[in-house]
């Protein structure tokens, strides 16, 4: 990809409406633009990050036994009335009537919709266990949208729902998802905590929040420095090793719930068990905020110059920066390195624009691609290139002929397996 062809309208200054670092940098780096309060358009750089996070989530859900579906965003009101949430959910639920005066809403979550599907299609214990998931846009009429895409009125989310015969099997599904979530955030290159949590309007008896550790986060978490167990507020010492707890902060990006029969009983989602008796499906639900994960990654990985993306979710892996694109040798070498690394499977962008080197460097730091390869006249005289690792600022002079092997080592150090 050439920078001259990329639609990424960058800004030098932080926009006035930006309240947090991620909001500011996503706008400044040309990743999002606001359409209305709490409603954003994702531009190409932002969309590449969203797709990478989505693909990691999708792969891990599939590996854990999930099957992908896509449910409607527009929900008949009568389904929400069956569970009582039409009245309980409050003004955040975006409601409207169709031309026949029937109640509808835009889905902030899909428990009623998936339960309706299950009661129509799951008839026997032989169909269980079953896990169904989607990655889709959700809607919530926030009283005060803020923090960019972290608390918006329209957001991208993965939600998976498990169906089991009994509580014991539901526990197994819950543990599968717990482990899958750990793998998702490991693969995204993010430091996270799993904290017991309140189930809120979703319901159920047990739930855990997955929180990305970030000093700017809204959530206050207590963590044991010895056994690394995390706890919600209200404790002074670890319940396991009695060590005094320390406070950290973070951003909630995922939440998993043991729902039990909260939805299946009122909606009569029953199946016939092995002994011929009719029983309610035992359910779990599991959500990850795709956009929130993107924003949290920036909150946890940035400096004064811009974003420092983890390798696995960066919009590009490598940026090639010719210091002077007018110089034939610099231009030719940059193209040669670009072709070589592209053939080796790297995702690259080359800043081919006829602009000052300082401008290229500042934009590269702002956008936050993990590795920069700088091609300059002095280095080429030594048949060398400069490699800058954005995550820690380290600069390495590398022989041109060794760039492939050098990048392989750098990648191995940056990628969290």
The CATH number given to whatever domain includes residue 347 is 3.40.50.800
Q: Are residues 211 and 102 in the same domain?
A: yes
Q: Are residues 251 and 359 in the same domain?
A: no
Rg (CA), the chain: 24
Question: Of 300, 335, 361, which marks where a domain is finished?
Answer: 300
* pLDDT given for residue 417 in this prediction: 43
pLDDT digits (tens, 9 = 90+) for 399-413: 999 999 999 999 999
Beta carbons of 75 and 112 less than 8 angstroms apart: yes
Domain that holds residue 165: 3-300
Question: Of 300, 335, 362, which marks where a domain is finished?
Answer: 300
**Widest Cα–Cα separation across the chain:** 82
Q: Are residues 173 and 273 in the same domain?
A: yes
Q: Are residues 21 and 160 in the same domain?
A: yes
Question: Of 300, 326, 359, which marks where a domain is finished?
Answer: 300
Q: Are residues 292 and 323 in the same domain?
A: no
Residues with Cβ within 8 Å of 267's Cβ and at least 6 positions away in sequence, in order, are 79, 82, 83, 112, 115, 116, 119
- What percent of the chain is modeled with pLDDT above 90? 86
Alpha helices in 266-356 (DSSP H): 290-300, 328-343
Provide the CA 315 distance to its chain's centre, in angstroms.
13
Residue in 398, 128, 411, 62 with CA at minimum distance from that of residue 282: 128
Tell me the average pLDDT across 299-314: 97
How many angstroms separate the CA atoms of 48 and 307, rounded?
Answer: 15
pLDDT digits (tens, 9 = 90+) for 337-384: 999 999 999 999 999 999 999 999 999 999 999 999 999 999 999 999
Structure tokens given for 382: 């030594």
How many angstroms separate the CA atoms of 110 and 137, rounded?
Answer: 11
Q: Are residues 73 and 222 in the same domain?
A: yes
Residue in 7, 52, 12 with CA at minimum distance from that of residue 31: 7
pLDDT digits (tens, 9 = 90+) for 122-160: 999 999 999 999 999 999 999 999 999 999 999 999 999
Q: Which residues pair with 95 in a beta bridge?
A: 105
CA angle 292/294/298 to nearest 5° reads 110
Calculated CA dihedral for residues 188, 192, 365, 295, nearest 10 degrees: 90
Q: What is the CATH number of the domain that holds 226?
A: 3.30.930.10
pLDDT digits (tens, 9 = 90+) for 26-52: 999 999 999 999 999 999 999 999 999
87, pLDDT greater than 80: yes
Predicted TM-score of the model (pTM): 0.95
Q: Are residues 348 and 265 in the same domain?
A: no
pLDDT digits (tens, 9 = 90+) for 385-400: 999 999 899 999 999 9
202, pLDDT greater than 70: no
- What percent of the chain is modeled with pLDDT above 70? 98
Q: Are residues 63 and 109 in the same domain?
A: yes
Q: Is residue 311 part of a domain?
A: no
Beta carbons of 81 and 102 less than 8 angstroms apart: no
Q: Tally the domains of the chain.
A: 2
pLDDT digits (tens, 9 = 90+) for 229-252: 888 787 888 888 889 999 899 999
Q: Are residues 37 and 78 in the same domain?
A: yes
Q: Are residues 271 and 235 in the same domain?
A: yes
Q: Is residue 306 part of a domain?
A: no
CA angle 198/60/149 to nearest 5° reads 55
Q: Are residues 350 and 385 in the same domain?
A: yes
């Amino acid at each position: 990809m050439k920078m001259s062809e990329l639609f990424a309208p960058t800004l030098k200054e932080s926009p006035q409406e930006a309240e947090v670092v991620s909001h500011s940098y996503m706008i400044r780096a040309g990743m999002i633009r606001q359409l209305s309060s709490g409603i954003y358009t994702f531009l190409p750089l932002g969309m590449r990050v969203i797709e990478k996070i989505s693909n990691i989530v999708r792969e891990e859900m599939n590996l854990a036994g999930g099957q992908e579906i896509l449910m409607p965003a527009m929900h008949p009101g009568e389904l929400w009335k069956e569970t009582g949430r039409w009245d309980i959910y409050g003004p955040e639920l975006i409601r409207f009537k169709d031309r026949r005066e029937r109640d509808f809403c835009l889905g902030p979550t899909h428990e009623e919709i998936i339960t309706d599907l299950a009661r129509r299609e799951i008839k026997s214990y032989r169909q269980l266990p079953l896990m169904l998931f989607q990655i889709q846009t959700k809607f919530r009429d926030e009283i005060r949208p803020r923090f960019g895409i972290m608390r918006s009125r329209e957001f991208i989310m993965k939600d998976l729902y498990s169906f089991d015969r009994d509580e014991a099997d539901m526990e197994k599904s819950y543990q599968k998802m717990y482990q899958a979530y750990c793998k998702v955030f490991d693969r995204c290159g993010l430091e996270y905590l799993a904290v017991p949590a309140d189930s809120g309007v979703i319901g159920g008896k047990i739930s855990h929040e997955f929180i990305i550790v970030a000093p700017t986060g809204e959530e206050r978490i207590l963590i044991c420095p010895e056994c690394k167990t995390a706890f919600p507020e209200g404790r002074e010492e670890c319940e396991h090793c009695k060590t005094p707890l320390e406070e950290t902060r973070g951003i909630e990006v995922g939440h998993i719930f043991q729902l039990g029969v909260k939805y299946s009983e009122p909606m009569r989602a029953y199946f016939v068990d092995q002994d011929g008796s009719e029983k309610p499906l035992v359910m779990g639900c599991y959500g990850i905020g795709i956009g929130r994960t993107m924003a949290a990654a920036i909150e946890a990985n940035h400096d004064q110059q811009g974003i420092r993306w983890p390798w696995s979710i960066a919009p590009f892996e490598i940026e090639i920066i010719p210091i002077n694109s007018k110089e034939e040798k610099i231009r030719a070498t940059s193209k040669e390195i670009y072709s070589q690394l592209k053939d080796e499977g790297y995702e690259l962008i080359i800043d081919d624009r006829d602009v000052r080197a300082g401008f290229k460097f500042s934009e590269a730091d702002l956008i936050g691609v993990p590795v920069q390869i700088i091609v300059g006249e002095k280095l080429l005289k030594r048949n060398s290139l400069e490699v800058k690792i954005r995550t820690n600022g380290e600069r390495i002079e590398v022989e041109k002929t060794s760039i492939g092997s050098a990048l392989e080592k750098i990648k191995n150090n940056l990628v969290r397996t």
